[in-house]
Chain A
Amino acid sequence: MNMENKIAARVKEVPPSGIRKFFDIANSMEGVISLGVGEPDFVTPWNVREACIYSLEKGMTYYTSNWGMPELRKAISTYLSLRFGVDYNPENEIIVTVGASEAIDLALRAILEPEDEVLIPDPSYVAYMPCVRFCGAKPVAIECSAEDGFRITPEHLKKSITSKTKALILPYPNNPTGGIMTREDLEAISEVLRDTDILVISDEIYAELTYEGKHTSIANIPDMKERTILINGFSKAFAMTGWRLGYAAGHPDLIGAMVKIHQYTTLCAPIMAQVAALEALNKGFEDGFASVEYMVRQYNRRRKVIVNGFREIGLDCFEPMGAFYVFPSIKKTRMTSEEFCERLLMDQKVAVVPGTAFGSCGEGFIRCSYAYSIENINEALKRIGNFIKKL
């Protein structure tokens, strides 16, 4: 049998991940310093791990409600209200998912018909485009530039909207650029959206990692909540990537449709992770999210060290206000992003990710994560400096 022919066209047409090649090379090399990881270097706080261990000892090893444990949904509702000023009913407006990734997939599958168009800022996280295509729908890139702080401008948004536009994916703070959308920025694009019936899938997984100011959710902008599916999770703010726990909040009809898919494909998120997440939130309510704030302070210091470092090396570096990435321009080296990353890896054993892995507008940029110790960052900067000097 020709298995190649058995693969569905909408799966076949999605190209393999752009960073796979680097991953394989970097992984086989000794002494590699990496700035390539999109997850916190902090281990999950001990109280959270301990709560999970205790739940296993007690025998909490069963399915939960399809929606997620009621106590956890209630805590998520309180958290969203407390930290971001958005109110959702834990009874029917919140679903707990296997990572924010599942929530993105569910949201898209719940709303998309074939031929629908979904607007996605470029560059963005690698999963949106493929997930839209898996639904048989059409991803449409909104070009973003360093000059605009990698934000979606109302002009670019307006230009991209057609009669087929079903939804806008709004991933801020942004991976890979570190760009954010302030309240003013969100108000400006809401002005455009208000005249349409376009839904917003707002991926706010990096919301807590916002520096010099607080994150604003688009659900907090007048008239926007009804059309918004807000997605968040525990991976970044609570250093819980491997637990795979996220959630979505939104209109009961939309969340209900997502639950329908979730209950038949996944049933529920693992109970261990749900118990752990509940502890993370409850501890946060008690101590004012001290461990989140501690991690944010640490990231913020590293952010300043790495931005300063790239500027000293002589690479233009837009100042990221969120997440834990910098996205310096390598245009003056006259190399493509991929060429730059490959040569940097071979020559200096530093692993960074080419901007093109996140969309064609990422050409001329590299993504460097600062979820590393200051020593690691300084060593990587030194090697990148050597590399640039030798060119």
Chain B
Amino acid sequence: MTKEILEILSEDSRRTPEEIAVMLDADVDDVRQKIKELENKKAIVKYNTIVNWDKIEREYVTAFIEVKVTPQRDLGFDAIAERIYKFPEVKSVYLMSGDFDLAVMIEGRTMKEVAFFVAEKLAVLDSVVSTTTHFVLKKYKIDGVVLEGEEKDYRQVIVP
């Protein structure tokens, strides 16, 4: 039941325990209990809304920064990652294989703001060896959701 509840909620976090109980032919209290457990152990981290900010009058810019760092003895990459993700400008941080170490997504109001943040806050950190900044020009798909031009229902109204 756990996996099914998570699948349903990850597709639409507004589904109520009552609705989920019908969908899974389960007891409402059991569903509520299960969701509580999942929240408590942080398997369900947060109920977010996916926003297409381009539809809203709001000046903002997203950048993807490749960061090369020197790992620290005993701490590996975790300590430097923490130094970076504590900044509220930083939206996500991933440890990567390949040519660089950390993939950092940053959001700011202008390109200049983001560039200064990288220069003044990121690049100067002791373990950071180098940074490469890529600005996001357009978002097509976020977290499995296509923002525009989703396929419509081409089916006939009645088919035997």
Chain A: residues with CB nearer than 8 A to chain B? Answer: 17, 19, 22-23, 26-27, 32, 34, 36-39, 41, 43, 125-127, 175, 297, 301-302, 304-305, 308, 351, 353, 357, 374
Contact = CB atoms under 8 A, between A and B. Distances in A.
Contact of A353 (B25, B151, B158): B158
Contacts of A304: 22-25
Interface of B: 4, 7-8, 19, 22-25, 151, 153, 155-160
Contacts of B158: 19, 22-23, 26-27, 34, 36-37, 351, 353
A37 B157 contact: yes
Which 6 A-B pairs rank lowest in CB-CB distance, beginning with the nearest? A36-B158, A301-B23, A23-B158, A26-B157, A126-B160, A38-B159
B22 A308 contact: yes
Nearest to B150: A43
Contacts of B156: 23, 27, 37
A12 B149 CA distance: 46
Nearest to B11: A298
Nearest to A175: B160
Contact of A38 (B4, B23, B160): B160
A151 to B, nearest CB: 21
Contacts of A36: 157-159
B155 A19 contact: no
A95 B25 CA distance: 40
Nearest to A22: B158
A39 B159 contact: yes
B159 A37 contact: yes
B157 A19 contact: no
Nearest to A373: B153
Given A26-B158, A297-B7, A301-B8, A41 B24 contact: no
Contact of B4 (A19, A43, A297, A308): A297
